[in-house]
Structure 1
């Protein structure tokens, strides 16, 4: 147990507790990083040392490190960087006074922890037992350890005999073609799948031996010793590249999930082609693996039917249908109050209601409170379940809790690295915080994965919006027009397109685009389409104000 600045870091329970004794939620990677920093307090720890300790044998970018540092500071309330300091060009310094380092550890000259030498047993600072009592003390201490261990094993067997993370063996994707390009693409897709799966927190990945041919389906010893095996075949059809892959339970040979990805055979960008093929199967198979590892989370029977019926109306603009769906889910949840999927479904529906302004002010506050309570309960029960993490990410973004949303959406990607919807929400959050370049990169990443394909228009819209905020008006037009071509029934893209046209000195096209937007969203004015102002960056507020002015010039009514 480490103690510092009123906090307790309990390694046995993997828990950080605040001064009030209440647990503070911290993901596994930030927890491991905080523990490393705390055990090396008063010593500068380099970025490289942190990355090698927290992500052993995995190459990750500095963004992952910075995200962990941000989450640690948020958990400690260290906005002023008094506890965790950046030492320019050298690394990070945890400057708190830390007590509770394990007995037998000493601090070496460089500040790092080492094993203390000598036969004496420390009782308190500056005081030691007489030599004659040391053997008795040691025996008593040893007996206490044995008894304590036995009791702990009885009370918490999962901690001491924890099952190792399941292993997934990724077999080389087979390229069924005499075309050398097909084999090269199959090899690259295999690498994409390995790299993506290796980022997931709760699994281990076994890669094929270097140089394994893509056309060789023979299992390797490592694949037969794994919990799951991922296999796949790539074929070039007349219209599309077709990748079919499956996850097989190694012990039984049972196929647990099958996924298919198709990409236009004429796609000129080979890297984009490879990325979308890998993401197309990777996202589906990852979700299935998550369900298998988070046993007991999936709804069955009547709950599944209720969720399907309620979610069928989630995108409807009829307030009456929305309220009927809400009642349906509330009744089902009353009968199964511990059903995680019902909790998530109701919270997701209420989040949608908040976004669509289907609640009055009092109802809105109650819906937000209820959705948060449901999601926090679900997170406590299933902290690694992708649907829970996705719903929480969207909820925080929709309710303007943007700093928390950064962490929550990044956490989705720890378990679903190809999740385009999480990337879209992350990009929206970055925009609200004035990080337009970061948002543009995030939306483009979502476009490279393109999962799920039905949401493609949203990240195209995001790319257009980010370009507009950056003043890249020609680029904005190109992406917004592509978004509209996929989903022409939404008014928001037309408003942004009108603004881009207006800035480019094309007032006729700007007026036409705004007229279409008002047709799709009658009653829209500068007041009711304005971006949120709570918890947003001044940079975003100023850029939005300028954008809104060009919309007014293009024909958007002020009131």
Structure 2
């Protein structure tokens, strides 16, 4: 049997010791069917427990619906609704803040965007290790900088004891058993030579805790800029505590690049220098980690080196959970003026994650690509979305005005034109941010022809000057 497989075993064939799985601040008690986060316990139905357990055993991988139906229900004929109900129950149990951890990939299956860490059985829950701590701890995937969980450099790894040929994780009454090789594959740790456990150095745990606090700060209240600035000191403290913590360096680099992208930078040159420094630290620590690759791509993007950025975004996007990087491949093509190549990755990202917090931004870029390729009829409704993070409301509405006019929807265009002329002229006269995103001749030529020229013909002569 391969290391990625599991087997169903009847409950009469072996005993069912209490087994616990830790991931991303949660503990799943397989025997009791209880999901615990801090002081909150949620009791799951047996089938829901089995679905979650199998997804955790293959964390970071796409698991098809067919596989889940076979593993959990065996030969029993059930409808797809049974699995859908289990998935919904898991998302409710994870809570609003972590609902994105269980991701749906259209027509492909589900991914648990986390990293499984086994926990030894314990009668007293207070004796358990902190969920999510250490090099195999997972992080919430909500931020743009969310990363495939990283492993500690080998000199700092935990060597877990495996006894007599295998470590089995047993789901009580269901008898769902995970082989030791499955656990090793999921955590990417080599088999240990001695039955002993080395304690985690506190610097790594403290660094991971600070990174988690930084990500929580980015999800808190206030403006996007305020949340970014609140998170930065936490990421820098994590890096000071553990200099080899690549995810801390990457997250800090993203703060600097996102401030520039969002137009919120107080010192663009300083932010770029800091992003370059931090991305270099991440690449030096873990050059193949998705988040390190993505942070390097973000720096190249700020340097207007879009063709080079595409290479790094593609490498980062090879991780199934990194839809952000796959969308950024499309945006980089757009910045190069290749609006045709920009559309497939942006469409795919929106299809894969239509509720992603950056989906509105992706849709606006997709609309711009459609305008540049002469399809205003398809582009018009792409600008109805919220502004996302990068383009002001008025700018987005100018693009919709161009699309409506080009599509022959003249009554709607006239109403929008009237609405825009009643707004603050200072807001309307400011430079178009999308025009300043790229200096590439192909991009500027297509933008001016597809956007600026129609606006000038409609009497908006000050726009883009």
1:367 aligns with 2:271: yes
| Displacement of 1:490 | 4.3
Partner of 1:497 in structure 2?
400
CA distance in 2, matches of 1:332, 1:301: 8
Aligned partners of 1:301 and 1:213: how far apart in 2? 33
2:377/2:406 contact within 8 Å kept? no
> In structure 2, which of residues 308, 320, 333 is the aligned counterpart of residue 417 of structure 1?
320
For 2:4, what is the secondary structure of its paired residue? strand
Which whole-Å deviations, capped at 9, do the CAs of 1:304-326 have from their partners, x for residues lacking one? 324432564695256xx755554
2:107 to 267, 271, 274: 274
Could you say if the C-alpha distance between residues 234 and 553 of structure 1 is closer, same or farther in structure 2, counting changes exceeding 3 Å? farther
Q: CA RMSD in A?
A: 4.7
Equivalent pair of 2:235/2:251 in contact (CA under 8 Å): yes
Which residue pairs with 1:352 in the alignment? 258
In the superposition, relative to structure 1, how do residues 484 and 316 fare at CA in structure 2: closer, same or farther (>3 Å)? closer
Alpha-carbon distance between aligned partners in 1 of 2:321 and 2:424, rounded to the nearest angstrom: 32
How far did 1:474 drift? 0.8
Match status 1:236 vs 2:110: no
Instruction: Quote how far apart the aligned CAs of 1:431 are.
Output: 0.8
- Aligned residues between the structures: 322
Structure 2 counterparts to residues 112-123 of structure 1, below 5 A:
none
Relative to the length of structure 2, the TM-score reads 0.55
Which has the larger displacement, 439-448 or 286-295?
Answer: 286-295
Q: Structure 2 CA distance, aligned partners of 1:394 and 1:406?
A: 10
Cα offsets for 1:88-141 (capped at 9, x unmatched) = xxxxxxxxxxxxxxxxxxxxxxxxxxxxxxxxxxxxxxxxxxxxxxxxxxxxxx
Change (3 A) 1:384 1:484: same
Q: For the residues of structure 2 that align with 1:366 and 1:486, how far apart are their CA atoms?
A: 25
Distance 1:301 1:539, change over 3 A: closer
Of the structure 1 ranges 435-444 and 388-397, higher mean CA displacement relative to structure 2 is found in 388-397
Residue aligning to 1:387: 291
1:174-323 to structure 2, matched below 5 A, reads: 197=61, 214-217=69-72, 235-236=80-81, 243=87, 260=102, 273-275=106-108, 278=109, 280-281=110-111, 283=113, 290-291=148-149, 293=151, 299-309=207-217, 312=220, 316-317=224-225, 323=229
- In the other structure, the counterpart of 2:352 is 449
C-alpha displacement at 1:518, in angstroms? 9.1
Unaligned runs of 5+ in 2: 9-53, 91-98, 117-137, 140-146, 157-203
Q: Distance in 2 between matches of 1:309 and 1:334?
A: 19
Measured in 1, the distance between the counterparts of 2:422 and 2:284 equals 44
Give yes or no for the alignment of 1:168 onto 2:13: no
Structure 1 stretches of 5 or more lacking a match? 1-165, 173-189, 199-204, 220-232, 247-256, 263-271
Rate the CA distance shift 1:292–1:364 in 2: closer, same or farther, 3 A.
closer
Larger relative contact order, structure 1 or 2 (CA cutoff 8 Å, min sep 6): 2
Deviation string for 1:389-425 (max 9, x for gaps)? 33333333344220111101001122x1353211221
Q: Secondary structure at the match of 1:527?
A: coil
SS in 2 for 1:215: helix
Q: Is 1:473 equivalent to 2:376 in the alignment?
A: yes
- Structure 2 CA distance for aligned equivalents of residues 235 and 212 of structure 1: 12
Describe the superposition over 1:182-217 as per-residue Cα deviations: whole angstroms up to 9, x where unpaired.
xxxxxxxx9xxx9x959xxxxxx9x99xx9894354
Report the Cα distance in structure 1 between the residues aligned to 2:271 and 2:100, rounded to whole angstroms. 37
Which one of 301, 310, 335 corresponds to residue 406 of structure 1?
A: 310
Aligned residues of 1:350 and 1:368 also touching (Cα < 8 A):
yes
